[in-house]
């Protein structure tokens, strides 16, 4: 448990640092983009091409700082009751387009609704991150299975969660799998094995933070050359107000 909280503290301070830098950087990028726009109205054709490059680089940098800000949770989020089944069924189209033709996507929602207490956008983000990672682990194609069900946690289980019933989201792939070294570090911010233009190392750190905030737990099982399975357990939402940490009224009023 001590190891977990040290890790959480390290994540927290890295998050604050990253968030601070990203925030200032975003402002600077806005200035660069603004002046590039002004200049664009004044310069010759050659200059316009160079300016387009500057803008392109600044736009990419902005996308990156956007990811950092999300990771650092600078953006406020509304929390409400969300059906985990809806998250996986409604994301189908987007996910199919994301993964490409060589990869088969199987979506297996539980037969009954699976309400959890969370932010819808954040759940989408979790799913997208896991599926993108699955895709990247299957350069030759393969199968991704996205599944939801109810799972029992027992006192003797190795998860730090209190015993009880949880909503479970499982994403598994038939990809490369990973070594024990990678598995030990994959939730660390900025840890990536991908080339710099593909990976930021923030995907799973963000997922880890979101799941933790929602009172859940994420685990990974992986075998080299066989594939990887991520399992996320989230406390099910109940009508019982005691179980609820934040008032649901706010998000109902928002209505999506
Ligand atoms: P990024 O995708 O930007 O590298 P992540 O935090 O999402 O950052 O992932 C960190 C690392 O974990 C990846 O670079 C990869 O080595 C490993 N990883 C994540 N998901 C998988 C997977 N499904 N199969 C194999 N390796 C994975």
- pLDDT of the residue at 5: 66
- pLDDT of the residue at 136: 94
How far is the C-alpha of 190 from the C-alpha of 192, rounded, in Å? 6
Q: Does 40 sit in the ligand 1 pocket, CB within 6 Å?
A: no
Segments of the chain scoring below 50 in pLDDT: 241-256
- pLDDT of the residue at 99: 87
- pLDDT of the residue at 202: 87
| Smallest CA separation from ligand 1 atom 17, residue | 186
223 Cβ contact list (under 8 Å, min separation 6): 177
- Count the alpha carbons within 13 Å of 27 in the hemisphere toward its beta carbon: 5
> Which atom from ligand 1 is nearest to the alpha carbon of 199?
3
Q: Does 200 sit in the ligand 1 pocket, CB within 6 Å?
A: yes
- pLDDT of the residue at 73: 65
User: Of the residues 189, 192, 223, which should be mutated to test ligand 1's pocket, given the most ligand atoms within 8 Å of the CB?
Assistant: 192
Instruction: Kindly give the distance from the C-alpha atom of residue 193 to the centroid of ligand 1, in angstroms, as a whole number.
Output: 7
Q: Does 192 sit in the ligand 1 pocket, CB within 6 Å?
A: yes
Query: Parallel, antiparallel, or unpaired: how do β-strands 103-108 and 142-153 relate?
Result: parallel
User: Of the residues 186, 189, 205, which should be mutated to test ligand 1's pocket, given the most ligand atoms within 8 Å of the CB?
Assistant: 186
How far is the C-alpha of 214 from the C-alpha of 95, rounded, in Å? 23
Least Cα distance to 16 among 75, 78, 76, 74 occurs for 74
CA 201 to chain centre: 11
Instruction: Kindly give the distance from the C-alpha atom of residue 56 to the centroid of ligand 1, in angstroms, as a whole number.
Output: 26
191 Cβ contact list (under 8 Å, min separation 6): 185, 201, 205
How far is the C-alpha of 203 from the C-alpha of 210, rounded, in Å? 11
Q: Does 203 sit in the ligand 1 pocket, CB within 6 Å?
A: yes
- pLDDT of the residue at 189: 85
């Amino acid at each position: 448990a001590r190891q977990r909280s040290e890790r959480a503290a390290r994540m927290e301070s890295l998050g604050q640092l990253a968030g601070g830098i990203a925030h200032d950087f975003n402002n600077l990028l806005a200035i660069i983009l603004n002046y590039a726009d002004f200049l664009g109205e004044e310069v010759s054709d050659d200059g316009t091409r160079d300016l387009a490059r500057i803008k392109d680089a600044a736009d990419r940098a902005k996308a990156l700082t956007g990811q950092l800000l999300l990771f650092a949770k600078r953006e406020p989020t509304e929390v409400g009751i969300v059906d985990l089944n809806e998250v996986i069924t409604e994301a189908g189209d987007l996910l199919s387009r994301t993964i490409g033709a060589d990869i088969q996507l199987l979506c297996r929602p539980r037969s009954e609704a699976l309400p959890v207490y969370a932010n819808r956008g954040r759940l989408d983000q979790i799913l997208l991150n896991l599926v993108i990672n699955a895709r990247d682990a299957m350069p030759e194609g393969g199968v991704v299975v996205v599944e939801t069900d109810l799972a029992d946690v027992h006192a003797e289980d190795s998860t730090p969660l209190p015993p009880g019933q949880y909503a479970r989201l499982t994403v598994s792939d038939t990809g490369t799998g990973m070594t024990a070294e990678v598995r030990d570090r994959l939730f660390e911010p900025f840890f990536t094995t991908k080339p710099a233009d593909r990976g930021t190392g923030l995907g799973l750190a963000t997922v880890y933070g979101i799941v933790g905030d929602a009172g859940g737990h994420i685990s990974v099982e992986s075998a080299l050359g066989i594939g990887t399975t991520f399992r996320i357990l989230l406390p099910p939402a109940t009508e019982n107000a005691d179980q609820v940490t934040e008032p649901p009224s706010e998000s109902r009023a928002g209505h999506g």
